[in-house]
Amino acid sequence: MDTKEALELIEAAQKKLFAFNAASSSLYLDAVTVAPRDTAEGRGVALSVLAGEQHKLLTDPALAQALDTLEANKGELDLLHARQVEELRRSVRQLTRIPAEEYMAYAQLTNEAEDVWHRAKEQSDFELFRPCLEKLVAYNRKFAGYYDPDKAPYDALLNEYERGVDTAYLDSFFAVLREKLVPLIRAVGERPQPDVSFLHRHYPAEQQRRFSDYLMQVLDLDRAHCGIGETEHPFTLNFTSQDVRITTHYYEDDLASSMYSVIHEGGHARYELDVDPQVEYTVLAGGVSMGVHESQSRFYENIIGRSRPFIEAIFSRMQAFFPEQLADVTAERFWRAVNRAEPSLIRTEADELTYCLHIMIRYEIEKALIGGTLEVRDVPRTWNRLYKEYLGLDVPDDRRGCLQDSHWSGGSFGYFPSYALGSAYGAQMLANMERDMDVWGPVARGDLGPVTAWLTEKVHKYGGLLTPAQVVEKACGQFDPTYYTDYLTKKYTELYGL
């Protein structure tokens, strides 16, 4: 096989991978939006076949041979192809270690688990979900051994989501946050709280839907390439850089919930839509890592979306969408309300300051579950104990406790820390952005163009052309979590007059 043939082979293989992914994504999107309730079985069979095909493709000896050929002739490759070879080799190496039957059975399991979790959450019945979760944990412990038998199992999984990240790194990262943020949260807790009652007036879903359309405009999300749907748990899904979907969930007694979901998922979508089309249909398409992805979503949601200039810029338009509900509210009161920091039960609705404690709780539980020091049946008890310990809260039921997130039902163990890392990356990016240009002037006029242009240049456009570490380096410089703690300290000192 010569280089040209090898390149053709990997191009075709990547196109197939794209197609199998697109197919699975479409089945998933259907499942969580419009599919009738009792239809998981057939979809499970389809997803399992697709996973098997993907597995077969990545473990095909011809692909391995093509990668060998290309690695031997590395010098001839441009960056685009060199990176494809690198990423494909990584996928091949991992998958080759998972037997095909296990890989397919796992695909079927996560599909079932998604369905069971939905029902368990609805009925707040952990026992219903427990058998699924036990199987998911067992598989992930096993897979971790396949990925890297020399690493502790949880470290091997962490490495899947954010390369180079391990328990030691995260323990020290969270230690910095704990050291700086716990006293800050305590100080905030001693100050009077802003009024948030107006956020819980009646906001009809239909009015909120129109408001979402407006927010998508503000984020400059082209509706010909970016759709919005409604699901239990908001998410972003990308087929290509020309076809991205976000979802949200409307609560008629909570304006901020969907508003900030849309901005958060809109940040993910912004990233996907801005990736250079030259990587389309390859393994380099889409955002480079979970951590970098969350840095973008949380940048738009918190750093921009909850900033005073942004709210001042859009508030009069907001009043037009909700004339009765917001008649007696000012931009200043709205800004204070959406930044109210206070321990709460639901991660996705937590404020920017206490959010990391939610992540730390999940991190500790995952670490123990995968490490083998916590049994699945003890998850609710441990969850509730940690919420009491870290946030001083009694968890009233599992729906608002350990069943609240979809991640574990989708088989993601090791993902949660990315949220905290992403938040920290974002704060450091802001510092660099402020050094490079006037950030807040345009934002105060409701113009996110310059912010998006900076992020596109430093982060979005690359997709997987650079490694996650290279992207972080490009946008942040040497990573330092104190940028994040400084940012929060400054913001909450102003908000609460500390």
Least distance (Å) from a copy of itself to the CB of residue 323? 23
The strands making up 236-240's β-sheet, listed across from edge to edge, are 226-230, 243-248, 236-240
Label residue 172 exposed, middle or buried (CB < 10 Å: 0-12, 13-18, 19+). Answer: exposed
Is the distance from CB of 275 to CB of 241 less than 8 angstroms? Answer: yes
Q: Which is nearer to a copy of itself, 107 or 185 (CB)?
A: 107
Cα distances from 177 to residues 115, 180, 240, 377, 420, in angstroms, run 35, 5, 36, 30, 10
Q: How far is the CB of 17 from a copy of itself (least distance, A)?
A: 9
Tokens of 452: 């998006």
Q: Report in angstroms how near the CB of residue 139 gets to a copy of itself at its nearest.
A: 21
Q: Considering beta carbons, is residue 269 or 403 the nearer one to a copy of itself? A: 269
The distance of closest approach from Cβ of residue 352 to a copy of itself in the complex, given in angstroms and rounded to an integer, is: 30
Question: Closest CB to a copy of itself among 36 and 75?
Answer: 36
CB of 320 to a copy of itself, least distance (A): 24
Taking the complex as a whole, the smallest distance from the CB of residue 217 to a copy of itself amounts, in Å, to: 14
Q: Looking at beta carbons only, is 54 or 302 nearer to a copy of itself?
A: 54
Residues that bind a copy of itself (CB under 8 A): 15-16, 18-19, 22-24, 26-27, 29-30, 33-39, 41-43, 45-50, 53, 223-227, 229, 239-240, 242-243, 245, 280-281
Residue with smaller CB distance to a copy of itself, 277 or 477: 277
Q: Which is nearer to a copy of itself, 19 or 187 (CB)?
A: 19
Q: Does 265 participate in catalysis according to the annotation?
A: yes
- 16 vs 458, beta carbon nearer a copy of itself: 16
Q: How far is CA 250 from the centre of its chain?
A: 19
Nearest-approach distance from CB 32 to a copy of itself, in angstroms = 12
Question: CA–CA separation, 39 vs 19, rounded Å?
Answer: 23
b/e string for 197-227 if b means 16 or more Cβ within 10 A? ebbeeebeeebbeebbeebbebbebeeeebb
- Active site residue: 114, 265, 272, 366, which one? 265
- For the annotated catalytic residues, the residue numbers are 265
